[in-house]
Amino acid sequence: MPGRFCKATPIIASNFLSDFIYLASQSPRRQELLKQIGVRYEMLLPAPGEDAESIETPLPHEKARDYVKRVTLAKASLALERWKKSGLSWAPILCADTTVSLPNSPSGEILGKPLDASDAYRILEMLSGKTHEVLTAVAVINNPEDAPNCVIQISEVEFATLSSEQINTYIASKEPFGKAGAYGIQGSAGAFISKINGSYSGIMGLPLYETAQLLDHARITRI
């Protein structure tokens, strides 16, 4: 349901207090959003040679909700193994993944990051004049022995009808690359969006309301 979150796993409270988390994401947007709500974090990034990208390949006929949950929990599992090998002291670990979905599209439900300019054009042309869904899953590992707590936030985004010139100009800006659905709502593509139903921060990549709830369960102090 747009604008609501659903539990992907039962919420388990942490039994100790922490003043920071490990962020297992390279997204600058997620870093900005955590700072916005006063969360201290340290980066827990893939080691050289670690294959963290292959998990993002959709499985045959995979639905967007199943995809974003699977990828986020897989990222959490990899991050936990990374921490175990690091020698670092424990703190809760946060992972997230965002995907864009056109549920009724015959060309496929899941629209990931564009491979190149041609792929970006294809994706933006598919979104033009339509309403799509943006799904962001967030997982927090409270304790090394526990399964992650995970929520999925879904928003609806209505795109204006875009001309070829608008699409090509946007692609030339390089903004579509590295973003699910080939656009970022916080950038110039915000001018393409006529309406949203849901979470602006969720569309950016980290729904703050749902994230704050998970972090409260993890007993994370904020500044």
Q: Which residues form the catalytic set? A: 97
Using an 8 Å Cβ cutoff, are 158 and 152 in contact? no
Give CA–CA dist 183/174, Å, rounded: 10
Please tell me the distance from the alpha carbon of residue 138 to that of residue 68, in angstroms, as a whole number. Answer: 9
Any bridge partners for residue 42, and if so which? 22
Residues 6+ apart with CB under 8 A from 213: 151
Cα–Cα distance for residue pair 148/154, rounded to 1 Å:
19
Residue 104: count other Cβ atoms within 10 Å of its Cβ. 8
Numbers of helices and strands, H then E, in the chain: 6, 8
